Amino acid sequence: MDVSMRKYMKVGIILHMAFNGLATGEGPILKSLKRIVTDDYFEVVEVTQMKDPAVRKAAADMIRCGHMEVAYGGQPRMLTTGMNINDLDEEKRKAALQSLKEGIDEAYELNAVGFSYLAGRYEEEMKEEAFQALVKSSKELCKYAKLKGNMPIILEVFDFDIDKKSLIGPVHMAKRLAETMTSDHDNFGLLVDSSHIPMLHETLEESLLPIKDYIKHAHMGNTVIKDVDLPGYGDSHPRFGFPNSENDVEELAAYLRMLIQVGYLNEKKRGIVSFEVKPFGEEDSEIVIANAKRTLNLAWELV
């Protein structure tokens, strides 16, 4: 496209994916964050839990000083602990819910523009019960967030049978959840990810068109799913063009075109689209970030 991508989108990056060792809320958070804040390619940075209150305050100050927006990912709170927001054990569900509420508190401390989370695993024979548990938890999250402000609560659509094996899940489940939630919660939405769409065995059209009215956030990433024995298999978010992977320049361009078609990317209200890329093995974070930026630059030329 001849016009600048910045007319349509705010480019972001997920800090705790681009830099290893941050997902548990510890590690060199501020050093890594400074690397992103000082790069004017990015308008948004996505962070997760930060266990030290002083680090959270410093991070908030740094992001504000850098004239950036910040979004909060609650997914690591579940994925690093094994918690499940749709657990059928009520005490375990409440523990997961409490952790995400604490994440919402942190997100407000950071002045985040959104809080994302994911549905947990489920047993097929108890699928409906898991769905109802997810709805119950999601309503509680939306209500809790509403008490403190207007920050959206956004569920990320994951794979259902390859890696995370999340209840949400295929598009019909995502649509059902969104319809249920938005009937009485105007602060709920969905997060889509170009790396998860191939894992869902869906085309871009199949995956995005039915939920177009509920998309409030988007990620750009890659996946390897051709063979379980291949390096990087599953939801590992390797760099674009990784051997035997699904997404590179042309696929990213098609994804962006579809986000424009469904109205998420537009010139009136620019949507956030963040890189979710992770170094594989001994790869360097700086090089993986450069790969992502080059890929997006080339993809936008094809949009």
Confidence of residue 106 (pLDDT cuts 50, 70, 90): very high
Amino acid in position 199: M
**Contacts by 81-86 with C-beta closer than 8 Å and gap 24+?**
83/120, 84/120, 84/121, 85/117, 85/118, 85/119, 85/120, 85/133, 85/134, 85/137, 85/138, 86/119, 86/120, 86/122, 86/130, 86/131, 86/133, 86/134, 86/137, 86/167
* pLDDT mean over 239-247: 98
Do 106 and 56 meet the contact criterion of CB atoms below 8 Å apart? yes
Q: For position 189, which CATH number holds?
A: 3.20.20.150
pLDDT at 230 over 90: yes
Residue 256 in tokens: 């962006």
Q: For the chain, what is the domain count?
A: 1
* pLDDT mean over 163-183: 97
Q: What is the pLDDT of residue 217?
A: 98
Separation of alpha carbons 69 and 62, rounded Å: 11
Alpha-carbon dihedral 134, 138, 140, 145, rounded to 10 degrees:
160
Q: What is the pLDDT of residue 121?
A: 97
Beta bridge partners of 193: 219
Q: What is the pLDDT of residue 44?
A: 98
pLDDT at 1 over 90: no
Q: What is the pLDDT of residue 33?
A: 98
**pLDDT tens, residue by residue, 43-83:** 999 999 999 999 999 999 999 999 999 999 999 999 999 99
Q: What is the pLDDT of residue 224?
A: 98
Print the domain residue range for 249: 5-302
Confidence of residue 214 (pLDDT cuts 50, 70, 90): very high
With tokens 């360097």, the residue in question is 284
pLDDT at 112 over 90: yes
**pLDDT tens, residue by residue, 83-99:** 999 999 999 999 999 99
Confidence of residue 221 (pLDDT cuts 50, 70, 90): very high
